[in-house]
Chain A
Amino acid sequence: MKILRIFLIIFLSMSLSQLKSDEKNDVLKNKILKNIRCLICQGQSVYDSESDFASSIKLIVNKKIKEGISEEQVYKFLREKYGDWVIYHPELNKNTYILWLLPLLLFLVGGAIIAKNLIFKK
């Protein structure tokens, strides 16, 4: 009876940890799929799309996560195949410097103009 109880506890804890790991993988998978643009229904993410392309990408992302490949590596794989545009959140590189730095620059210039006007008014 004691052995049966121990066996049951081990079995339950193993199932629970498996469930937790599956849940963690699902969260990561959905996060990645929401950040990939569907090239067939452009304007929709792969997560939302039901196209053939989207379902193939879903299978690939699922497989890569199960293999233990990181989020960044999945994006790198897709960038190599389809270019930067396939990812919604663009990474900082020589092609995207203007995209990332222009708003910051405009904010600083605008702030400087406002600050200058305020100082002059005083």
Chain B
Amino acid sequence: MKNKINIIILFIFLIFCFIVFFKGLDNSNIYTPKTNIQKDLPIFKVKDFITNTDVDSTKVFGEESYYILNIWASWCVPCRKEHPLLMELNKNKSIKLIGLNYRDNLNNAKKFINELGNPYTQILIDKDGTKAVEFGAYGVPETFLINKNKKIIKKFVGPINKKILKEIELIVK
């Protein structure tokens, strides 16, 4: 009788292990940091894309408005793909778009903007990628939604699409 119970317990344990590992096969091996976040806006000094002068991040995000921070680069193919959507987002008067040019050649970045249009209120230069780290970004493109209380409330990894655009517009309504 005792042996039978032991065998049943062992069997249940093996089935449990099998289910855990089988379920694990469907999980992605790629880690993505949380996208629903409530973080304070980092404070830093950064160079302006147009004037090449130092600006304070508190002044860049100074107004009481929703902000979108979009990290982009001229060498990034998905950035080219999402650019028309940023141009569309620019029409929304409740949001101010700030661009962070990531590890880029300044001339190539200017050509990119001249060719595809400038959706940004202000563009900042992140020559060595350290400003992107302050936001918790790890690549391009990445987009952050900042609310009126200067909190980062949402993060979109990869190029934005129509669905994300609608989501942003719904939040800032």
Interface residues in chain A, defined as those with a beta carbon under 8 Å from any beta carbon in chain B: 37, 39-40, 42, 52-53, 55-57, 59-60, 63, 80-83, 85-86
Contacts and interface: CB of A to CB of B under 8 A. Distances in A.
Given A39-B31, A82-B33, A85-B31, A59 B136 contact: no
B13 interface: no
Contacts of B129: 52-53, 55-56, 59
Interface in B90-115: 103
A56 B130 contact: yes
A82 B39 CA distance: 11
Contacts of B132: 56
Given A52-B129, A56-B129, 18 more contacts: A39-B33, A39-B139, A42-B31, A53-B138, A56-B103, A56-B128, A56-B133, A57-B133, A59-B128, A59-B129, A59-B130, A60-B130, A81-B133, A81-B135, A82-B136, A82-B138, A85-B31, A86-B33
Interface size class of B (residues with CB under 8 A): 10 to 19
Interface in B21-36: 29-31, 33-34
Interface of B: 29-31, 33-34, 39, 103, 128-130, 132-136, 138-139
Contacts of A42: 29-31
17 contacts: A39-B31, A42-B29, A52-B103, A53-B139, A55-B129, A56-B103, A56-B128, A56-B129, A56-B132, A57-B133, A59-B129, A59-B130, A60-B133, A80-B39, A81-B133, A81-B135, A82-B136
B130 A39 contact: no
A57 B138 CA distance: 10
User: Interface on chain A toward B: helix, strand, loop, or mixed SS?
Assistant: helix
B73 to A, nearest CB: 9
Nearest to B73: A52
B33 A83 contact: yes
Contacts of A59: 128-130
Contacts of A82: 33, 136, 138
Nearest to B132: A56
A52 B29 CA distance: 21
A40 B138 CA distance: 7
